[in-house]
Structure 1
Amino acid sequence: MHTTQNTQWLNNLRVFATIAVITLHTCDSVYLFNIYNLNKWWVANIIDSSVRSCVPLFFMLSGALLLNKNETLHIFLKKRFIRIILPFVFWSLIYIAYWQILKIINGEEFALKTFVLFAINKLKTGAAVHLWYIYTILGLYFTFPILSKWIKNCKEIEIRYFLIIWAIIIISNLPLISLIKPNINMMFFTGYIGFPVLGYYLDQHISLSQKHYPLLMYIIGTVITIVGTYIISKTHNSFQHAFYDYITPNVILSSIGIFLFAKYLKIDNLIVLKIINTISKNSYGMYLVHILILLLMSKIGINNSFTHPAVGIPLTTIICIITSYSAISFLKRIPWGKYISG
């Protein structure tokens, strides 16, 4: 359980997830699976697999932070949606403008009607590859006021029951098992809704005295992701993402391990803490802008493939983190910038 005195670990976890998601998006060479040239692919696969917990951790953090709040429905929705929607709309329009500028550069003639239809379609489906998460978390937020009332008034065994059913459904959707599962409609227990409940449960009800158990969980889940991805990709002679999916037993195991490890990890260095807390305050904006930064970096030849991925991926990630933070920091300093920056 966290209080106002010991929420630092949540900031630590948010920063890890932010860095992890930026790292993940620099690993696109992992999709270029070639059985005759696996050296670089293995590096990208190992790094990508190691940070697959990033998105589940964001959902779990939302559950740990929000499901125990005592807020009226009006206050909850107003605070969450205003904070999320204004920056989301702003950056969506920036991405739409970017794609449109690219079209013009590539010789496509600008037509207002075509642009409006293009913009509407992008706003419906996501103006950039990572913005699906915002649509998903907004959808989850609609359930939180109800979910919060339930979770605060039920017994631990009832939360565990929910998570067990969620886990059973995830396992039953695995390729071989799905062939024999009965056709029972369990929609309420499926999808990303389990992650906030899991985050709340791990925060409020799980206490471990040693950090090596969570670390072992993370390692086991990550190794399964690494090896499983290689095996099925080699079998099909093309990249297969099944083990990369966020709602899989291996990624969930890794996510639980990191979540619990962060809960019991103590950082005492004041400089490190200041850096972590500064990034944490800007993490949403950094999430929104980082794909644009990576696209612009790639235009000038800075990406995971400008050198060996073992160097290219970390270096690209570091440059992107610094640039994303600088962009959001600058935007917050201009008039009204804090409302749209994230």
Structure 2
Amino acid sequence: MKQTVKIQELPHIGSTRIAWLDWLRAIACLMVIMVHACECVYSNDYSFSFTDSTSLWSVALISGFMRPAVPLFLMASSFLLLPLKGDVTTFFRRRLTRVAIPFVVWLVLYATLPAAWGEWDWSESIRNLSTVWINFNPRGSHLWFLYMLIGIYLIAPIISPWLKNVSKRQEQFYIALWFLTTFSWHIHEYVGEVAGECWWNPYPTFYYISGTFGLVLLAHYIRKYIDWGVKKTLAVALPCIVTGYIFCVGWFYYQSGIAEEVRILELSWQPSSFAPAIMSFGAFLLIRLIKISSGAVYDIVRRISEMSYGMYLMHMMLLPAVFSFYSGTMPVYCVILSTALSTYIICFVLTMLISRLPFGKYIVG
């Protein structure tokens, strides 16, 4: 039996809504927060340590399973994006209001607001403001995702005409090339620079079809060509998830005993590395099977989906404090789960309240 895309009419906004995309955004948002709750156990982005084996295994098993988080968020954002519909000016105007302005607001907040509760003094906030136009402050390191997303938006008008005309076989060819580049994270560690890469040329042969671009292309391909039934979806998706998960956990555990940098420890966890890529493909297909598009539960999921961007923006302002509240009161794995769920709920409530303010859309999207 073929899978059909469930589209729900939303009279109050005069448009259509794909219900499973709401589930996808809600799930991906929770997964991102779960990843960052795990990081509180062992890492500050630059160094890492584990107090005991329980902490190590808790992080490896939980965070390893959450690796599709960022790819799913991106694929959800781009699923209906390409090819572009309408003129480019309107496209960018909408992204300016919905994405760029809240992004800038939170760049400033992460650079300054922690001084209000004594995390640093106000003089440091002033220093942070002097560099915020260059890059994110370490306190808001999760905002890297927005820089990447804006980059996708900038290139969207260029690749959109190609996607309107490309054949299925041609798109498969580029997805296959992209998938080969997902191994480059590990190749670089063993053989160094490849394919013309050197200090005066950081853009090797496959640079322009590597990274998160492939996830956007994959989302477009799934929307256009993959319409499988439940059995085939499960037959493909589950092996992808299991294989990727085993590699993610295995690499992390192995490297925890020999790696000296977080970068090496988390090499297999990068969003555009091959294990998270195949996990994301499988997870995306599974979530498409969700048929629930009405009722009280879906109403909550839909609201979370609508608030997910604001929740993502603000969650790292709250999560460290929530983690500190639970830390030491229960086993590590319970601390991780409690921190993530509590932060998720608090951020949802706060985002919903802010969205009702006259200028709320400029803060939480």
Taking structure 1 as the reference length, the TM-score comes to: 0.89
Instruction: Give the counterpart of 2:242 among 204, 216, 219.
Output: 219
Residue 210 of structure 2 corresponds to residue 198 of structure 1: no
Output the aligned Cα RMSD. 2.4
User: Secondary structure at the residue paired with 2:271?
Assistant: coil
Quick one: distance in 1 between partners of 2:38 and 2:275?
19
4+ residue segments displaced more than 6 Å: none
| 1:61 partner letter | A
1:170 deviates by: 2.3
Inter-partner Cα distance in structure 1 for 2:170 and 2:119: 57
Distance 1:323 1:180, change over 3 A: closer
Letter in 1 for 2:22: N
- Of the structure 1 ranges 302-311 and 79-88, higher mean CA displacement relative to structure 2 is found in 302-311
Aligned partner letter, 1:62: S
Contact 2:307 2:351 in 1 (8 A): yes
Does the alignment pair 1:334 with 2:357? yes
Alignment of 1:214-253 (within 5 A): 214-236=237-259, 240-253=265-278
C-alpha displacement of 1:82? 1.9
Contact 1:2 1:204 in 2 (8 A): no
Aligned-pair distance for 1:207? Answer: 2.4
Distance 1:190 1:323, change over 3 A: same
Cα deviation, residue 216, structure 1: 2.6
Relative to structure 1, is the Cα distance of residues 198 and 238 closer, same or farther in structure 2, using a 3 angstrom cutoff? Answer: same
Which consecutive unaligned segments of at least 5 residues does structure 2 have? Answer: 9-16, 197-203
Measure, in 1, the Cα distance between the counterparts of 2:120 and 2:288: 53
Matching of residue 61 in structure 1 with residue 61 in structure 2: no
Quote the residue 2:27 is aligned against.
16
Structure 2 CA distance for partners of 1:238 and 1:41, relative to 1, 3 Å: farther
1:311 aligns with 2:334: yes
TM-score by length of 2: 0.84
- Return the letter of the residue paired with 2:227: S
- The aligned amino acid for 1:334 is L
Aligned-partner Cα distance in 2 for 1:107–1:256: 41
- Separation (CA, whole Å) in 1 of partners of 2:292 and 2:7: 17
Identity of aligned residues (%): 24
CA distance in 2, matches of 1:33, 1:116: 31
Distance 2:335 2:77 in 1: 32
**Superposition pairs of residues 259-270 of structure 1, within 5 angstroms:** 259-267=284-292, 270=295
How far apart are the structure 1 equivalents of 2:302 and 2:32? 18
The CA distance in 2 between the partners of 1:139 and 1:190, in whole Å, is 13
In structure 2, the residue matched to 1:146 is: 158
Measured in 1, the distance between the counterparts of 2:42 and 2:275 equals 18
Question: Deviation string for 1:287-326 (max 9, x for gaps)?
Answer: 001111113434xx32455421221111111110111011
In the comparison of the two structures, how many residue pairs are matched? Answer: 334
Cα distance in 2 for residues equivalent to 1:254 and 1:295: 27
Gap runs ≥5 in structure 1: none
Letter in 2 for 1:144: A
1:126 aligns with: 136
Aligned equivalent of 2:54: 39
Query: Higher mean Cα deviation, 55-64 or 304-313?
Result: 304-313
Q: 1:203 to 1:234 in 2, by over 3 A?
A: same
Is the deviation greater in 171-180 or in 246-255? 171-180
Measured in 2, the distance between the counterparts of 1:67 and 1:325 equals: 28
Amino acid of the residue matched to residue 262 of structure 1?
Answer: I
Q: Residue type matched to 1:215 in 2?
A: L
- Is the alpha carbon distance of 1:33 and 1:97 closer, same or farther for their aligned partners in structure 2, counting shifts above 3 Å? closer
Paired residue type of 1:161: F
Which has the larger displacement, 124-133 or 13-22?
124-133
Q: Which moved more, 1:206-215 or 1:254-263?
A: 206-215
Q: 1:82 & 1:13 partners in 2: Cα distance? A: 23
Distance 1:146 1:2, change over 3 A: farther
**Structure 2 residue aligned with 1:155:** 167
Whether the aligned pair in 2 keeps the contact of 1:81 and 1:138 (CA below 8 Å) is: no
